[in-house]
Chain A
């Protein structure tokens, strides 16, 4: 045994591509499943939530207007970077959730594969969910999906890596930005995943991760007028009702699934929850006086 003292890691928030401490200066203790101290995590305040929304709004424009191909490459890059840190995340899952070593490895692999899956969706969303509309008139009409905007999401409380990735990836692949509140008791995989995002060509502000108490922060996000949608995956029954009601103040889209099995195939529901459909009409038809029937 060496008598070297470990260099403990300071876990901070992830906002706008940077790693700030909470503006409140607060932290809370994170323990493993047996109650042993693991680390201090930043305890975000409502003002951190506000800053994160501002960062997400700033990140949204460029990300939404990036080509789908570019977004796909970036999300794939996230998968590549996570793949390179598999051992670190497996150990983290073992520490925070008490997951057996081989199961932890499988979970990390599944998280990588999930990112790859959604990387492949970016440039197919419009083809699969959009349409050319054969309207009864001399118009060319097409409907195309567009990202909703800034999504405030609450990560699953127990499934701290695969569940987390399964929430974030479908939100961002279509061009939304996200303010995510990590699992309160298991925040370390989330804030470590932030390091993966930060080194993956993902523009600052597209993903923002807060650690702390969802009950403290989420009400402010749910009522924030510059948030376009809520993902309440990690919320309790009462919270779902309360926050969905708060969201009604600005007619936010609310996605509030329960009992999701994140080990199963992801489906398309999460992606579709954060899409708007835009229909465009433009005159077409005859190009000349003769009416064009003879072409």
Chain B
């Protein structure tokens, strides 16, 4: 038997392949979009920075309460005067236009998203932007078919929707919110996160080019105070919020008794459960994708790996090897796998929470990848020997940090997976079909991925159990969040 030995490994470093920032056509200053116009907000201008370099990207005019009021009024007028008068088919045509325009300007949108958010250009290019276009395309088709949505023959829109979205998928979350609202016949006031407003303001240009009537979509810039003013505005008929569980609880409390419809998509602490009969190589990919996609800034991230004890060592070894091939760095480089953390504050939060892991006795392993001098970066990190009681296995870290726990039997896996106040998503890896379905039945999570992870589609409902929120986005149930049966008051 031959014993070929390896020659000296070739040094084959991929040369940098940066996408051109010029494609983003970033303007020096951006304004909120109210009643079909870009207008100055009443607040003090803020600067949005590129988290990959910490350089200022653009100045953004900020809104105040008067702007919120104006936007809600514009949305009401837009609803009364234009949007509610259109047939579903005509509404649909606007949405089709928007879907096509997103696709046409996809490269620009991807660059803007990566510059403003810090996510790798390959993700904004291959996931965020095309999926955003797909959401508009899918919901466009619903606009003239609402009688088939399962809510009776003549389901009705709710009116003005007030929406607040987070910084992790700025454009995609906007599409998730705006497309079903408009398809169902509502008008929208939406607020992006203060650190990532730009892609939505480019989308506003697309709305304007698509001749969307004034007031149908209004975009407010600003921080939490603006969001709070929006969701509490009496002129808003429906509130949709994606963000942290803490803020979600406050919104639910403040809306109590108002009768306004509410959907919440909040945090998560998903278990990704790997059985000993899993397709190991693909499971390793799924674990990596589950926690390192978008730097772990994903509410449904597979942040708790539950691996069957009999294969834990093998899986952990393969996982470390695989993580060693991840390329961390300039988000604009087409070969970057892990980009920048969105903000200094988030980086500090991840760092602090990760440090508690060691303090509580978990074993920390960090990829040896080089960290750029400038920008906010956190290397892929794994904690093993984690127990359920540690903070790193209970709290949402929202970063590239994986906690590894082991289990012996399916019952134990289920018990540990469900032992959390969250319930957004879960993963199951096994080649045994009945186990997939049995586990899916037992897991208290709104989405269960089997032999895959982090899959999103406009046709498939997404949303959580328990403190991960209520209401769904996507599919029939997502549409139902923006409609009421005709006879319902």
Contacts and interface: CB of A to CB of B under 8 A. Distances in A.
Q: Do chains A and B touch in the complex (CB under 8 A)?
A: yes
Interface of A: 68-69, 72-73, 76, 113, 116-117, 119-124, 126-128, 140, 268, 282-288, 290, 292, 295
A128 B138 contact: no
Contacts of A127: 459, 475-476
Contact of A124 (B96, B142, B442, B444): B142
B455 to A, nearest CB: 13
A290 B142 CA distance: 45
The 7 closest A-B pairs by CB, nearest first: A120-B141, A284-B437, A287-B438, A287-B410, A295-B442, A283-B434, A288-B410
Interface in B415-457: 418, 433-435, 437-442, 444
B148 interface: yes
B144 interface: yes
Given A120-B142, A121-B145, 10 more contacts: A116-B96, A119-B96, A123-B138, A124-B459, A128-B148, A284-B441, A287-B411, A287-B434, A288-B411, A292-B442
Interface of B: 89, 92-93, 96, 134, 137-138, 140-145, 148, 409-411, 414, 418, 433-435, 437-442, 444, 458-459, 475-476
B96 A76 contact: yes
B141 A119 contact: yes
Chain B contact surface mostly? helix
B145 A120 contact: yes
Of the listed residues A72, A119, A140, A295, the one surrounded by the most CB atoms of chain B closer than 10 A to its CB is: A295
Nearest to B92: A120
B437 A140 contact: yes
25 contacts: A73-B137, A116-B92, A117-B89, A120-B141, A121-B141, A121-B145, A122-B141, A124-B141, A124-B148, A127-B476, A282-B437, A284-B434, A284-B438, A285-B437, A285-B441, A287-B414, A287-B439, A287-B442, A288-B410, A288-B411, A292-B411, A292-B441, A295-B414, A295-B441, A295-B442
A72 B142 CA distance: 12
Nearest to A120: B141
A66 to B, nearest CB: 14
A287 B138 CA distance: 36
Contacts of A121: 141, 145
Nearest to A265: B144
Nearest to A295: B442
Contact of A117 (B138, B144, B411, B439): B144
Contacts of B444: 295
A295 B435 CA distance: 15
A120 B459 contact: no
Contacts of B476: 127-128
Contacts of B414: 287, 292, 295
A140 to B, nearest CB: 5
A180 B266 CA distance: 51
A285 B141 contact: no
Nearest to B435: A287
A283 B440 CA distance: 12
A1 B440 CA distance: 76
Contacts of B142: 120, 124
B129 to A, nearest CB: 15
Contacts of A140: 437
A122 B458 CA distance: 13
Contacts of B437: 140, 282-285
A72 B133 CA distance: 13
Contacts of B143: 120
B12 to A, nearest CB: 36
B409 A288 contact: yes
A282 B434 contact: yes
B433 A120 contact: no
Contacts of B140: 120
Contacts of A72: 137-138, 141
B90 to A, nearest CB: 9
Given A73-B137, A116-B93, A116-B96, A124 B145 contact: yes
Contact of A290 (B141, B148, B411): B411
A123 B459 contact: yes
